[in-house]
A and B are shown apart, each in its own frame.
Chain A
Amino acid sequence: MARPGVRGGLRLNAHTERSTEHPLRPASPVESLVLPLDQHAGAAAVPLVKPGDRVLHGQPIAEPGGGISAWLHSPASGTVAAIEPRPAPHRMGAPTLSIVVANDKRDERYGAASPPRFEELSPQQLRDTIGRGGVVGLGGAVFPTATKLAGAADASGLRLLLNGAECEPYISCDDMLMRERARDIVFGARVLLHALAAQTCVIAIEDDTPQPAAALSAAIAEAHDDRIQLRLVATIYPAGGEKQLIATVFGVEVPTGGLPADVSTVCLNVGTVAAVAQWIRDARPLTSRIVTVTGDGVREQRNLDVPLGTPMAALIYDCGGYTGRMSRLIMGGSMMGQALPHDDLPVIKATNCIIAASPLDLQQRGPEMPCIRCGNCSAVCPAVLLPQQLHWYTQARDLQALETHGLLDCIECGCCDYVCPSQIPLAERFRDMKPALLEKLTADANADAARARFDARTARLDRIERERDAALAKKRQELTKKS
């Protein structure tokens, strides 16, 4: 079936029936919370507290480290136990500098001055305020939201696109959020429309679950805001990818190397929008997020509202513990998630889902065989690339060809792996190859700049010499005339 604007993709089993059976509930409080300072995209945050300090729930504990960065707030009241390197999930278990908060379980809240009604702020002031709430993209990319908004704010005719299309199988945190906090999302949408001076907002959700659609429709009707519309999109992985969703909803393609702002669009995850609402309306910064705990390896599959820094082991315990079939822990979805070395890692702003996978959940991979050039991968590639060709050049490390064949447009969705009859881990190969290509492109750009400076210098030295010769000749002429 032809779908306007989108190519490729797969129809996959969502595996979310069980995790959405139970209503959302808060995770049980834990003794100690570990908050990596670099859990957002960009520069690591800089601590504002020191070990031994008393902190309150919602108190800023680290400020942006310059450039692209984000605030960090304490998710509980208690004392700062340490600021030291701790294993982090986004570093595949490698230690990264973290603030450790010992929770006193009294949940005393930081008395942040309630911000004024958002309508009274200018868009610029509102964007800055959003930044101080520590809000980053909760879809998984954890890009600081204020930076994203500031980068797009100058474009005219901006459209706001709220991404409620769950990107991957198993993840249901956005589904649950839309069922339970639809009002927050609609309030957040109004805040963001004001912050961007935009006039239209589309909330895009998948067509396979009726409850989120019903909840959002009711919330939109209640808000009486006709700038906000709901739009159902086909449940085809990876429809929830940013570029794919923009193509599906607006029928335009984000250019290679470009941003959604280049097509007058700002795309935000619904979780991010709800976080904006909680900060702007209730002065509650981003200190917790909804996490899906799922997979055949955990007893109770469900969604929890989890304070940041909660150890994953505690979360699994909260859900009844592991079953005997547990074989591998994954953060993220089943297609793009990362395997974790162990469960003594904190939940961070990027943790949308934890899969305790049993062999039933994992796609069985046989030994890798040679590419037979069947072309299945290019048929499913949502970025309209030729994975079989990229595979060829990856083996040859032909960086030039990889660039011209669009390796950097690969979104690493894993559709090509999924359909590959030769069991080639294509997406992994492409992911591994990207840093080398980026390095080459940087080196090329540096060489071009060095050449330009060398040429400019050569021209300058030539000019100076010519001018000096001319001046000397003139002087000599004058002297000859006099004598």
Chain B
Amino acid sequence: MPRLSVDARHTVRLTINGRAHQGEAEPRMLLTDFLRHKLGLTGTHVGCEHGVCGACTIQIDGAPARACLTLAVQADGASIRTVEGLAPEPGRLSVLQEAFRRHHALQCGFCTAGILMSLDWYLQHKPDPSEAELREFLSGHICRCTGYVPIIAAALDAAQGLRETKRSET
């Protein structure tokens, strides 16, 4: 049984956006700090650091989760998606990101990465959500700029866009 000692750093290996990464972490290091400070992936934002605000939401092993409520050592061996993995290529936005831009669904952008990672997962699993379902789902995120209305509008628009893309592909 591996015991990771308090006063040493340990190698954490994980897959992020399809690529293998590794870095050194003390047992107490949060995954948010590991992503940002060890791997330089600063797209994931740090807000409240106790799981309430949703800014640090990423996808861990295929489900949306708070990076600030996860230790880096817990994520050893996990597969993670962060906001850096959303755009299909440099200079192009994903359907969801493009809808956010069109609807002014962000102002300061601090909460946006987390909301995008939640919605990216949700719209894959629920392609045709109602406004009420979206509001319930987004209750795990706090935005102080937009009043949420443009975020909901962007999500509904993106859902429609994704459905159309899927139809034209099949």
Q: Are A and B a genuine interacting pair, yes or no? A: no
B interface residues (Cβ-Cβ under 8 A, vs A):
none
